[in-house]
Amino acid sequence: MSKTILITGGAGFIGSHVVRLFVNKYPDYTIVNLDKLTYAGNLENLRDIENSENYIFEKGDIVDEGYIKSLFTKYAFDGVIHLAAESHVDRSITNPMEFIMTNVVGTVNLLNAAKNAWKGNEEGKLFYHVSTDEVYGSLGDTGLFLETTPYDPQSPYSSSKASSDHFVRAYGNTYGMPFVISNCSNNYGPNQFPEKLLPLFINNIRNGKALPVYGDGKFTRDWLYVVDHAIAIDKIYHDGKNGETYNIGGFNEWTNIDLIKVLCKQMDIALGNEAGTAEGLITYVKDRPGHDKRYAIDANKLKNEMGWEPSLQFEEGLAKTIAWYLANEEWMDNITSGDYQNYYKEQYS
């Protein structure tokens, strides 16, 4: 059945993988990618599908209420997959207001536009809100986040995402908006902006630069290959139940320092360097303020209800990721040449 789906943030890291999957898998769907092209948005991520007949790019800002309204008039959307966001915790510490505007106000603008467009005709419509496990807060040494875990966000980023999740549920409850929400753990893979741990460290190793490990490095995250996240989003979009939340995770917990050491070993091999070269770049730096100790996610609801599981073992996913960055050095050099240098200086000097 043909559908017109709005994907927001489709020029970003995860969004570009979701757009690619939908454009290639559903030739009968029209996929409209709305993206502001902030520092994190990059149309290079979508070169391979940009000329597909079922793909349209719209440059715009979800914070612009009038523009969002006009987009819903221009296209009769059957669904929204909402990924556009400010996504980096460190930037949220420096500039929380940007996160409130895009993540909260932008989401409510989209909800209002969808509510008005779908009023009385909600059957078959869906607002899919893509969120993070960080809304649940920080765990001690044990335990896992379940879909029922109370929200306890600790950073400006996670607070803005938690707020947007609440608004989506409120629109479901108050106005009958058909919705699903998924909360995913840390993603890694091709096309991730080098402010996040793995691409930043891959780029630094490639350039022989220090690897800035925050605090004692004993912070734990669950890691999922980005294509597996996109596959989960596809399943949930089509088979998820209205009003439900699904946790997505890799069943793959690492302390930062252990993960960095595996990365260093694989990078030495990939670059043909002597063993131990990359590890020699590890430098412990001042901790992130309010740094969440541990995230760990129970993704069994998704596994049991929809048969979704991560398709890759971590070492395999990491090797593919490293191979991609080394084969796409121009992609990295283009985005690290301009403003990135200022960001890097402010964040790490």
Catalog residues that contact ligand NAD under the rule CB under 6 A. Answer: 8-9, 11-15, 35-38, 40-41, 61-63, 83-87, 102, 106, 130, 132, 161, 184, 186-187, 193
134 assigned to active site: yes
Which residue in 81, 89, 205, 332 binds ligand TYD (CB under 6 A)? Answer: 89
Instruction: Supply the DSSP symbol for 102.
Output: I
Distance CA 88, CA 151 (A): 19
Among candidate residues 157, 188, 246, 325, the one labeled active-site is: 157
The amino acid present at 318, given as its one-letter code, is L
Beta carbons of 72 and 102 less than 8 angstroms apart: no
Number of residues in contact with ligand TYD, rule: CB under 6 A? Answer: 12
Distance CA 62, CA 103 (A): 9
268 assigned to active site: no
329 assigned to active site: no
The three-class DSSP label of residue 349 is coil
Distance CA 62, CA 55 (A): 19
Which CB atom, from 34 or from 89, has the smaller least distance to ligand TYD?
A: 89
- Per partner kind, with CB cut-offs from 5 to 8 A, the member of ligand NAD, ligand TYD, none near residue 200 is ligand TYD
Residue 123: Cβ-neighbour burial (10 angstroms; 0-12, 13-18, 19+) = exposed
Which residue in 23, 46, 111, 200 binds ligand TYD (CB under 6 A)? Answer: 200
Which CB atom, from 235 or from 288, has the smaller least distance to ligand TYD?
A: 288
Which residues lie below 8 Å from residue 307, measured CB to CB, with a gap of 6+? none
Which residue in 149, 160, 186, 321 binds ligand TYD (CB under 6 A)? Answer: 186
Which CB atom, from 77 or from 268, has the smaller least distance to ligand NAD?
A: 77
> Any contact of residue 340 with ligand TYD (CB under 6 A)?
no
Nearest to 318 by CA among 223, 212, 217, 221: 223
Taking the alpha carbons at both ends of the chain, their separation in whole angstroms is 54
Residue 49 has which token pair?
């599908």
Q: How far is the CB of 188 from ligand TYD (least distance, A)?
A: 8
Which residue in 13, 127, 136, 219 binds ligand TYD (CB under 6 A)? Answer: 219
- Phi–psi pair at 94, nearest 5 degrees: -80, -35
**C-alpha dist (Å) from residue 299 to 63, 80, 236:** 32, 23, 13
Among 70-78, 212-220, 311-319, 332-340, which window interacts with ligand TYD (CB under 6 A)? Answer: 212-220
Among candidate residues 133, 147, 165, 268, the one labeled active-site is: 133
Which CB atom, from 227 or from 281, has the smaller least distance to ligand NAD?
A: 227
Q: How far is the CB of 339 from ligand NAD (least distance, A)?
A: 13
The residues assigned a catalytic role are 133-134, 157
